[in-house]
Structure 1
């Protein structure tokens, strides 16, 4: 038969009291509520793919907005997909402006790969202007990778 000493009994009582207090203190907490974060990759100079990506972004934003939940979408362009954000070649400039006008500014970002931009400038022999909604990131692929490592979801239309 095990002999209980005073110290063991006190530790057991405190442990029980502390463990019981945790659920009570967190009653009503919604652990499933978190910001939804989506990366959409564009690496093709294809207006159909670009439009599909914008449809995906719009649908995700509207869905979570109706549910009252936070959402962030980052459309990441690199390689031939950078044409989506070029001021002189983008076939979807108007759709991007329209989407930005209905989305909160912090809800959607259009990321442009600087590695691709510099390569295009070197090949074409002149500076490339991006649409005003574009945010230059050092590398599109690294941007995708690092945000996925932080828990962002990923879609490639």
Structure 2
């Protein structure tokens, strides 16, 4: 199974829950989870910023093979650059399109 965790809001509890879900999927002992992706957009972009409270969690997820993406539209809207993101976070043109694309490829959708 493949799963995409979508973090679209600035709600810190939702952001922390989304990161915890991604971690729990990786640690699933049934070996039924093959791939985990995380897409941040809107206020959720805070989770992947290199000056935020979740830097270590994002780095750990990246090291463990989670594909972490940030919405370029959001970066433009918030006057941010790719260099403002945790190293290893990829950018995609539109977060919602990326989530939809992943779902079309068979990823289950989870949003905290």
Larger C-alpha radius of gyration, 1 or 2?
A: 1
Greater strand share, structure number: 2
Q: Pick one of 11, 16, 21 that aligns with 1:46.
A: 11
Greater helix share, structure number: 1
Aligned-pair CA distance for 1:132: 0.6
Structure 1 unmatched ranges of 5 or more = 1-35
Partner of 1:134: 89
Structure 2 unmatched ranges of 5 or more = none
Structure-2-length-normalised TM-score: 0.87
CA-atom RMSD in angstroms? 1.8
Partner of 2:58: 96
Match of 2:78, SS? helix
Match of 2:36, SS? strand
Partner of 1:146: 101
Aligned pairs, how many?
A: 111
Higher relative contact order (CA 8 A, sep 6+): 2
Partner of 2:49: 86
Structure-1-length-normalised TM-score: 0.64
Match of 2:59, SS? helix
